[in-house]
Structure 1
């Protein structure tokens, strides 16, 4: 399996080349300098998308800062599109959490 983006480059994200019969619906994305925090957030968010059949991540070795995220989608729906949607959804969830937390802190201060 060859890389579309060589691992020697300093790109934060690269894509492993998929097999020809699965097309764009099955991809493995390689993240550098990321951990379980992002991996699990993306996995859970991806699995909430009805077009996603499978989403899972691994960290091949704890001494390397590399995470592999595997996405399989229904035919006709590219895995890259699912990943982009997951990034947008994770960001929206984080902003909502920040807003709710700030509101709860304010309410708690007002009670005192």
Structure 2
């Protein structure tokens, strides 16, 4: 859901249902790293409602485009983190097997 001016696409508020600080803070951080973003912030209208509003104001680029790019960036960061973690776990397990084999000999 998007709220914004019909004649100014560079400022919009996006409402995410069933989300909380976890996604909102990560998106806020990612958006604020983008040089096209002039302002970004989020609010939770009421603690009992699972909804987050994210306000994005850009330097002229449509806000929905910048938001989509930030979501893609977060997806890539999560995939990289998951891959790195999986490699670390695999390396740890291999090391444990090697140590167990050294002890048996």
TM-score between the two structures when normalised by the length of structure 2: 0.86
Counterpart mapping for 1:33-52 below 5 A? 33-52=18-37
| Rounded Cα–Cα distance in structure 2 between residues aligned with 1:63 and 1:39 | 16
- Greater Rg, structure 1 or structure 2? 2
RMSD over equivalenced CA pairs, Å: 1.2
| Rounded Cα–Cα distance in structure 2 between residues aligned with 1:48 and 1:27 | 18
1:49-95 Cα distance to aligned partner (Å, 9 max, x none): 111111111111100111100001002x1100100101110110100
Q: Which runs of 4+ in 1 moved over 3 A?
A: none
Q: Which runs of 5+ in 2 are unaligned?
A: 97-105
Q: Which runs of 5+ in 1 are unaligned?
A: 1-13
The count of aligned residue pairs is 96
| Rounded Cα–Cα distance in structure 2 between residues aligned with 1:100 and 1:36 | 25
Residue aligning to 1:83? 67
Larger RCO: 1 or 2 (CA < 8 Å, sep 6+): 2
> Is 2:85 the counterpart of 1:101?
yes
